Amino acid sequence: MTATASLSSRHSAFNVLPKVDVAGLRSRDAETRDATAKQLGVAARDAGFLYITGHGIAENIIEQFRRRTRQFFSQSAAVKMRSYIGNSQNHSGYVPEGEEQFYGGAIPDRKEAYDLNFELHDPAYQRPMLGPNQWPDLPGFKEDVQAYYDAAFELGLQLFRGFALALGLPEDRFTRLVTRPPTQLRMIYYPYDPQVQSDAMGLGAHTDYECFTILLPTAPGLEVMNGEGRWIDVPLVAGAFVINIGDMLEVLSNGEFVATSHRVRKVAEERYAFPMFCNVDYDVVIQPLPELVGDDRPARYEPQVCGDHLFAQTAQSFAYLKKRLESGELTLPQGSRGLFSFGRKVGGGNDA
């Protein structure tokens, strides 16, 4: 079964996101790590969304990453299309506006993106979303973007350890499952268009597919739903990342942590968003961990293979993959679910 609707009431009626300094997760002192993880767990349970400070990623790495992103999206459409995602081996590259199709014939979300994944060259481990990345022919782009990916990936490992401790599990309970994960970094560009209708969405309401998301935004626009069903604005906080629980961590925790619905409203300025979607390895079966299941707490979710689920969701929402499905060139993994049918769903998407 999927998560029950009553799980949405687990979140509090928060009006602002909680903030946690996660520097303590890097401490050599176990008590300090435990204390920090406890704060992380409270925020995850109360809101499913939080700010983190003390993340340890150097400002120069962040600034160079932002600079390369702006350079890429300032190019002509023809130049950007040379790196079209449909030309890649591992679902990496440029995503033009309208390529992602979540809502049938509805107006597409107003955004462009560049997607990158875990860089993997060993053919023994390659999967539909694991392999060598497609990089644009833009000086410095690969080096500076990969530097940010690596730093954010390490932060993700720290958070995996923190979430494990917060659930009363061994510190390495999740990281032992993270060796070659389909962890994706998206560079998303939301243009400002004053002619767009005032109720237009930059991104419709959804929860994220993966375990959790590390988000670095450059402008306001993000909103999250609190436990009362009200939309709460998420303003920028200097030096902070935004973290949110995704469907897979909701399932692994057997509903102890619950994914939070969020959306992006039409922005009053140009906006970039850099979400990293943190995952366990491709072949890991996502189901409630046995340590969190008992006679008084039965498993609330059916199992699903991590990578198969991600690929099935992606293949059903990107135009180039839909065409391959329709032609018979691609087939969905056995047991694949329809869009937005794993965990507790409101809409769909893989953005921030």
Convert the pLDDT of each residue in 113-153 to its tens digit: 999 999 999 999 999 899 999 999 999 999 999 999 999 99
Convert the pLDDT of each residue in 296-324 to its tens digit: 999 999 899 999 989 998 998 899 999 99
pLDDT at 141: 98
Instruction: Report the alpha-carbon distance of residue 51 to residue 176 in Å, rounded.
Output: 26
Which CATH number is associated with domain 5-327?
A: 2.60.120.330
Instruction: Report the alpha-carbon distance of residue 242 to residue 236 in Å, rounded.
Output: 9
Is residue 95 within a helix (H) or strand (E), and if so which, with residue range? Answer: strand 93-95
pLDDT at 168: 98
Confidence of residue 221 (pLDDT cuts 50, 70, 90): confident
Instruction: Report the alpha-carbon distance of residue 16 to residue 34 in Å, rounded.
Output: 24
Instruction: Report the alpha-carbon distance of residue 200 to residue 107 in Å, rounded.
Output: 9
Q: Is the pLDDT of residue 195 over 80?
A: no
Among positive and negative, which fits the CA dihedral 306, 342, 312, 155? Answer: negative
Q: Where are the domains of the chain?
A: 5-327
Give percent of the chain with pLDDT exceeding 90: 68
C-beta separation of 32 from 246 below 8 A: no
Confidence of residue 8 (pLDDT cuts 50, 70, 90): very low
Q: Strand 49-53 vs strand 19-21: parallel, antiparallel, or unpaired?
A: parallel
Convert the pLDDT of each residue in 248-293 to its tens digit: 999 999 999 999 888 877 666 788 999 999 999 999 999 999 999 9
Tell me which residue of 249, 251, 174 sits closest to 211, measured CA to CA: 249
pLDDT at 12: 81
Question: Which tokens in the block code for residue 227?
Answer: 């436990």
